[in-house]
Amino acid sequence: MKNSRRTFIKLAGIAAAGLAVAPKKVLASSGGHSPVKVNATASHAKHWAMVIDTTKLHTAEAIDELAKVCHHIHNVPSIEGKKEVKWLWHDTYGHSFPEQENPHLAEEVHERVFPLLCNHCENPPCVRVCPTKATFQRPDGIVAMDYHRCIGCRYCMAGCPYGSRSFNWGDPRLNLDMANLNPEFPTRMRGVVEKCNFCVERLAVGKQPACVEASNGAMFFGDLKDPDSEVRKVLREKFTIRRKPSAGTEPSVYYII
C-alpha cells in the first residue's frame, strides 16, 4: 500500500476514535492509579490542634517528664548548651508570651513555667522560606519535616518566631543512648533541622500524641474544624491565649491560663 498523507490521517482518526471508546480500565492500567492509601486505623482531622491546660501543667519537673517521653520515642539527642536539640521544652511566662507581659499579672501565673513545642501554625513562616520544601504543611495542618530533603540552610529557623527548631550541628547519634533507642523511629543525621511533628507517626495508627497521652488530662488534642471535638469544647469553655499573636502565624497550640 502506498503511504500517503491521506491514509495516515485516516488511520490517526480511527486510532483516536478507538481511544475515545476504550474502556476506562485499559487507560487506568497504563498508569495514573496509585497502589497506596491511608492506614485504615489512622485518625483524621481537617486541622489538628492542641490545648494545654497550664493550671494543671506548669512545673518544670512535670514538663520535663513529658519531654523525656517525647524525646525518647523520637530519638532526640540530649545535648547541653547552644547546640541543644529539643522537641518539647519549658520556659517562663515572659519568654513564652512576650507580647502579653503585664507588670501586675497574678504572681501565681507569672511564676508558672509553660510547655513549649512547635506550634504547627496555620500560616507557617518556616514553610514559606524553605527553599527545598523539606518543611511543608500537610492538609491536616501539621507542619512536617522531610529530613530526606533538608539541606540544613536553617532559613526555617530564622523564619520561626518561636525557636521551635533545632539544628543538628554534629552527628546526633553521638549524644544518644544507643542501647536505649526506639527502634521504631529513625534518628536524624548531621546537618538537618528538626522539630516536633505532632506525632504524625502515632496519628497514622490512631494513637494520640505521646505528650498528650502522658499528660494526665492536662493536654487536649483534636480537630479544630470540628465543632464537636474535644479541643473545641475546651476552647469554648476556657479562656485561652496563643503565643506571639502579632506574628500572624495563627498557632494551633492554645494555652489555658
Partner 1 sequence: MYNGFAIVAGLVIFFAMLTAPFALGTMTKQYKEPELKLPVNEKECIESTEYMRTNHMQLLNEWRDWALRDGKRTYTNHAGKEFSISLQNTCMKCHTSKADFCDKCHNDAGVSPYCWDCHVQPEGLK
CB of 128 to partner 1, least distance (A): 17
Spatial contact of 42 and 205, defined as CB atoms under 8 Å apart: yes
CB of 187 to partner 1, least distance (A): 6
Q: Are strands 143-145 and 135-137 parallel, antiparallel or unpaired?
A: antiparallel
In this chain, which stretch among 6-14, 33-41, 78-86, 234-242 interacts with partner 1, using CB under 8 A? 33-41
Task: Give the distance from CA 193 to its chain's centroid.
Answer: 13
Give yes or no for residue 37 binding partner 1 (CB under 8 A). yes
Site for partner 1 in 172-191 (CB under 8 A): 173, 178-179, 181, 183-189
User: Among 204, 216, 230, 245, which residue interacts with partner 1 (rule: CB under 8 A)?
Assistant: 204
Give whichever of 136 and 155 is closer to partner 1, judged by the CB atom. 136
Size of the site for partner 1 (CB under 8 A): 30
Following DSSP, what letter does each residue of 242-256 receive, concatenated?
Answer: -S-GGG----SEEEE
CB of 219 to partner 1, least distance (A): 23
User: Among 18, 23, 32, 35, which residue interacts with partner 1 (rule: CB under 8 A)?
Assistant: 35
Question: Which grid cell is 101?
Answer: 507581659
Element (H or E) spanning 112, and its range?
Answer: none
Give yes or no for residue 42 binding partner 1 (CB under 8 A). yes
For 205, list phi and psi in degrees, rounded to 5.
-115, 20
CB of 178 to partner 1, least distance (A): 5
Following DSSP, what letter does each residue of 180-240 receive, concatenated?
Answer: G--TTS----TT-EE---TTHHHHTTTPPPHHHHHTTTSEEEEETT-TTSHHHHHHHHS-E
Instruction: Give the type of residue at 100.
Output: Q
Task: Give the distance from CA 21 to its chain's centroid.
Answer: 46
Give yes or no for residue 28 binding partner 1 (CB under 8 A). no
CB of 193 to partner 1, least distance (A): 13
Please report, as ranges, the residues that interact with partner 1 according to CB under 8 A.
Answer: 34-40, 42, 75, 136, 138-140, 144, 146-148, 173, 178-179, 181, 183-189, 200, 204
